[in-house]
Structure 1
């Protein structure tokens, strides 16, 4: 059996219980060595066969999976964060489907939620934003038409931008045009939940300089939007004047 497992954003305790169990039972582990903490491998069996996919091609990864499956081994494909977000797992699953090999996908904590937790904020605030946009700037991998950062920022939604800190000047210019101001709050979280996590807070007007001063050019989430600072309305869920199926309003209780 092949299991695609989300290792979480960095801290080894943020893998799911199921993911940890699968890792402990695995005969073969293929892990994304450039991003996944090697501490996860300490939970593997002593005789577990371990492959670092950072230096492997798609075909080589599939060959290891196919060989292990033919031997009846338990295989874990360990991805960073949640494997369904920028995990490049679809192309792996499609080949496995074509070979008639079964697999499962085990979700994990994504770096975008880990980053928001690190700054102790909430993406979805009443009267501010009820939408979160996950995206990246175009680079060697293009983005589809209509998904340019400037166009997405026009929605004024909360945004989590992956894989883009190395191009922060262009990110800022596009976002400022979309949001219509350089005053929009920004948080950049480097290596969220790792021991060397670092948080930079600012606005579109000054965040680029702060990032360059710190020399951050990879492994960082860029969070953008008014959810980071400013006023918001109280949630209806716990408002005494608002009733729902589990609670009467203060007026109804009189």
Structure 2
């Protein structure tokens, strides 16, 4: 099996069908497997998958295991040489998975590669970001609260569709190799909800591999669908706790 696609679901009945349809359409001529790990959804997510996508392998968790642990379950169950982590609200566009695969196969020093993400209205979504230091995180939060638009550090490369190396790629779409997981380890399960994606990218880079974003490969990500979740106090607390753990783990201070 060449490619394993790991999709995490949690009450995803509104988005999982178009996501899987786009993936199956893209991978129809590829040697691949699709593994969905469900974090104990209470809606019709599991029924949709079982009824409409019989070739998809469904793993059902009895409780919400969080992002890192659930994805690790899928990774450990998979058999592909290449592993694509995909959010359930991503729509794959024409040949984007193939473009990512071709890039990582032809660039041995690339450890993680991702496409340029777009919002449903076609506008650019910044998925290649600077490392979430205390200062960078504070600036992002203030920009959102004050509804300020500040240019992304990598805006020029995005507009010119030039491959660039961000601090990290958000976990909505990350393509890597099984050998990378074997070398740096799986996702850190001490991080329940963010920033497990940044932590993984930093460990990959520390092993002298590149993190690359390909702006000419495009996928649609309904990021706003998830934004409400982190505003809920229990999730917000877990996210803040995970940030403190992340900063301590990577020796990041408020002055960095």
Alignment TM-score, normalising by the size of structure 2: 0.29
By percentage of residues, which structure has more helix?
2
Alignment TM-score, normalising by the size of structure 1: 0.29
Q: Rg bigger for which structure?
A: 1
